[in-house]
Amino acid sequence: MTEAGAIWRDQLTADERAALGRGHGSIPEPHPDILIVGGGIMGVAAAAACHEAGIGSVLLIETGRLGTGATGGATGLLIPEPHQWSDPEPLVDLERASLERWRELEQRLPGGVGLVEIDWIGLAPHPGGFAAHQPPAVEWLAPGQVEQLIPGLARSMEGALIRRQARINPLRAVTRLAAALPAVATGVAATGVTIRGDRLVLSIPSDRVKGHLLVTEPTSVRLPGIVAPIATQIEDGRLLAGGTFDIGDEDPAVQPDVIESIMDGLVVALPVLKGLGIAYQWCCFRPRHPDRRPVIDRVPGLDNAWLTSGHFRTGILNAPATAAVLARWISDSQPPAEPGTWSATRFSRPAG
Ligand SMILES: Cc1cc2nc3c(=O)[nH]c(=O)nc-3n(C[C@H](O)[C@H](O)[C@H](O)COP(=O)(O)OP(=O)(O)OC[C@H]3O[C@@H](n4cnc5c(N)ncnc54)[C@H](O)[C@@H]3O)c2cc1C
């Protein structure tokens, strides 16, 4: 991931930036009760949930700096309701529950997690395009209403408005969650696992989908929130655009032609943006399982190890709810309501 190119790091204070690589606390003796491997959003959220549940001493280890992986390059949108058009119901339920948890964390953690409440508007180039699957939270906008909200649109379009979604700087959220932990070690990799008894056989198919993003220089053009598929209004009058799905591109480098096509798309939609500069450009990889649902499970064959993976395009959103599921499972031996939906072995089961 080319997180160095993302805007998120520059939005942090110098102390928060340093905290991503510094670690803190001391390693519990003789060993931690809970060891969390991986300091992306899932790891820090899971560690925070376990610590809060009072399960025992918690140590988080991260091979590089916190947020080095997909987390530091994500768009940071927390938008469960629009996902009703694309995600299966159990996933949307998890997303909704998780947005509520993000809101609780915003209230509860010192300084909050940097959550910004924001409206989402989906533009429908084909009139009535969304109507067949209209979720209850949606307000349908006629072209005149869309024009009032987004002056300067090149094409007259209907729209779907969903209020009170959210966005977050993923790295700020990581620093705020990590600050609440007793012990964080960065630059420390898990290099092996010793199993007592049977051999561990764990095979979960996965791939990754690259995405490019850009942030513009500040502009006087104001969008009324997240305008899909054009851009999201962020701090300092900047626009955040992209989130491409570059299937098959395994090159970790930013492809200038993809960035150019994102910027071209912005200008085609809003011609007034012609000539606006690009301040940040980056790419990263979404972790994905074949059915696009995450794994949230106890490691098959073991009774003291759990894993979560493959959160694809909603891992930032889903981190607090996933963490809560894991913490409850670990502390109270209580698996999630529909364990099969998230199981690590579902890929090896015969279909049907
Ligand atoms: C372009 C793009 C846009 C996205 N937009 C959104 C969005 O708007 N909203 C949303 O909710 N999600 C979004 N996502 C998805 C989201 O970024 C991911 O689902 C999420 O970040 C996954 O988090 P994670 O903690 O599981 O993985 P990661 O962030 O990859 O973290 C895993 C960590 O584990 C560490 N690690 C690996 N191996 C070891 C080891 N052996 N020992 C110690 N540490 C180790 C890595 O260094 C890494 O830091 C987007 C993703 C992309 C690529």
> Please, what is the average pLDDT of the chain?
93
Please compute the mean of the pLDDT values over residues 169-182 and round it to a whole number: 98
- 43 Cβ closer than 6 Å to some ligand 1 atom: yes
Lowest-confidence region among 23-37, 125-139, 224-238, 305-319: 125-139
d(CA 48, CA 51): 5
d(CA 297, CA 308): 7
**Most informative mutation of 316, 317, 322, 325 for ligand 1 (most atoms within 8 A of CB):** 316
Q: What's the pLDDT score for residue 212?
A: 98
Please compute the mean of the pLDDT values over residues 255-275 and round it to a whole number: 97
- 320 Cβ closer than 6 Å to some ligand 1 atom: no
- 225 Cβ closer than 6 Å to some ligand 1 atom: no
DSSP readout, 141-185? E-HHHHHHHSTT-SS--EEEEEEEEEE--HHHHHHHHHHT-S-EE
Q: Which two tokens stand for residue 315?
A: 């891992």
Ligand 1 center to residue 40 CA distance, Å? Answer: 5
State the pTM of this model.
Answer: 0.96
Please compute the mean of the pLDDT values over residues 245-266 and round it to a whole number: 97
Please compute the mean of the pLDDT values over residues 225-238 and round it to a whole number: 97
**Most informative mutation of 7, 44, 75, 318 for ligand 1 (most atoms within 8 A of CB):** 75
CB-based contact 172:16 (threshold 8 Å): yes
φ/ψ (deg, to 5) at 140: -85, 130
What is the number of the ligand 1 atom nearest to the C-alpha of 212? 1
Lowest-confidence region among 59-63, 137-141, 148-152, 231-235: 137-141
Q: Which two tokens stand for residue 254?
A: 């930013």
Q: What is the pLDDT of residues 73-116, one digit of tens each?
A: 999 999 999 998 889 999 999 999 999 999 999 999 999 999 99
What is the number of the ligand 1 atom nearest to the C-alpha of 38? 34
Q: What is the pLDDT of residues 124-140, one digit of tens each?
A: 766 555 555 666 789 99
Lowest-confidence region among 136-145, 160-169, 255-264, 317-326: 136-145
CB-based contact 20:175 (threshold 8 Å): yes
Cross-strand partners of 331: none
Please give the DSSP secondary-structure letter assigned to residue 309: E
CB-based contact 205:142 (threshold 8 Å): no
- 47 Cβ closer than 6 Å to some ligand 1 atom: no
